[in-house]
């Protein structure tokens, strides 16, 4: 069961024109951008794409972004982007982009972090690291999968929790700076992870960790200390 998941490389090298169709505010610093992508080859939850912006003077900026939407046949993709200070691409999306604008995308990319729904999944994310994990949660719901799935997600506050209105019983939020009354404030600890490992399915969890370098290191250590096999931890980090 553990190991790299095979993903077709078909059409991943071709750039495709994507049209922005909708913008949804998620938090004060993050928004979801829905793109129409004709002839999209399809993706697996957890995969990402390359996005390219070309200015009128020919200047090109490229960035990798995780896909937030579940796989379907609608010909649409969703990306959730935080507004990075001085970020060329995220800055354009947050301050200038409007429905009808076009960008170029290439992908899907990376099979290592993909989860096709065939094994129990334990998801740990922080900040915008929840984006590829939410693709997995949405896939789990859309297909009414019975395989176990649990998610721990860390955010500075309830206001900064991306997809807050969409999270369900599978998710436990952890708030590092402020929290609703009665909920402890602090970083993710072994107290959050150990119960999930103690109550794991008979075949064990496949763990997916996504966030900053610091969070990825911290969360993976918590998993190992709680008994999760190293070879069954998949990590995607940024920053």
Report pLDDT digits (tens) over 156-198: 999 999 999 999 999 999 999 999 998 899 999 999 999 999 9
Distance, in Å, from the CA atom of 220 to the CA atom of 209, rounded to the nearest integer, reads 7
The whole model's pTM is what?
A: 0.93
**φ, ψ dihedrals at 55, nearest 5°:** -75, 165
Question: Would you call 51 exposed, middle or buried from its count of C-beta atoms within 10 A (0-12, 13-18, 19+)?
Answer: buried
Output the pLDDT for position 12: 73
Instruction: Return the DSSP state at 229.
Output: -
> What is the tens place of the pLDDT at every residue in 8-53?
555 578 999 999 999 999 999 999 999 999 988 899 999 999 999 9
pLDDT, mean over the chain: 93
pLDDT at 2 over 80: no
Domains and CATH numbers, the chain: 16-109 (2.40.30.10), 121-238 (3.40.50.80)
Distance, in Å, from the CA atom of 193 to the CA atom of 182, rounded to the nearest integer, reads 20
pLDDT at 7 over 50: no
Residue in 61, 64, 69, 106 with CA at minimum distance from that of residue 88: 61
State mean pLDDT over 210-236.
97
The strand ranges marked E within 87-223 are 102-109, 121-126, 149-155, 171-175, 206-212
> What is the tens place of the pLDDT at every residue in 80-107?
999 998 899 999 999 999 999 999 999 9
């Amino acid at each position: 069961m553990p190991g790299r998941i095979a993903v077709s490389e078909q059409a991943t090298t071709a750039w495709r024109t994507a049209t922005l169709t909708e913008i949804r505010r998620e938090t004060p610093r993050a928004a979801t951008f829905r793109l129409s992508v004709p002839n999209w080859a399809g993706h697996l939850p957890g995969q990402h794409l390359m996005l390219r912006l070309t200015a009128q003077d020919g200047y090109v900026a490229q960035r990798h972004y995780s896909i937030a939407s579940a796989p379907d046949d609608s010909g649409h993709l969703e990306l959730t982007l935080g507004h990075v200070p001085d970020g060329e691409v995220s800055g354009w999306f947050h301050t200038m982009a409007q429905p009808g604008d076009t960008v170029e995308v290439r992908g899907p990319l990376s099979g290592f972090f993909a989860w096709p729904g065939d094994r129990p999944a334990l998801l740990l994310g922080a900040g915008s690291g929840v984006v590829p994990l939410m693709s997995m949660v949405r896939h789990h719901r859309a297909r009414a999968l019975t395989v176990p799935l649990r998610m721990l997600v860390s955010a500075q506050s309830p206001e900064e929790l991306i997809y807050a209105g969409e999270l369900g019983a599978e998710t436990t939020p952890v708030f590092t700076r402020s929290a609703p009354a009665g909920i402890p404030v602090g970083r993710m600890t072994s107290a959050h992870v150990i119960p999930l490992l103690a109550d794991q399915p008979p075949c064990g969890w496949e763990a997916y960790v996504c966030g900053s370098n610091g969070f990825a290191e911290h969360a993976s250590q918590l998993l190992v200390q709680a008994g999760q096999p190293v070879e069954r931890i998949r990590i995607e980090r940024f920053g």
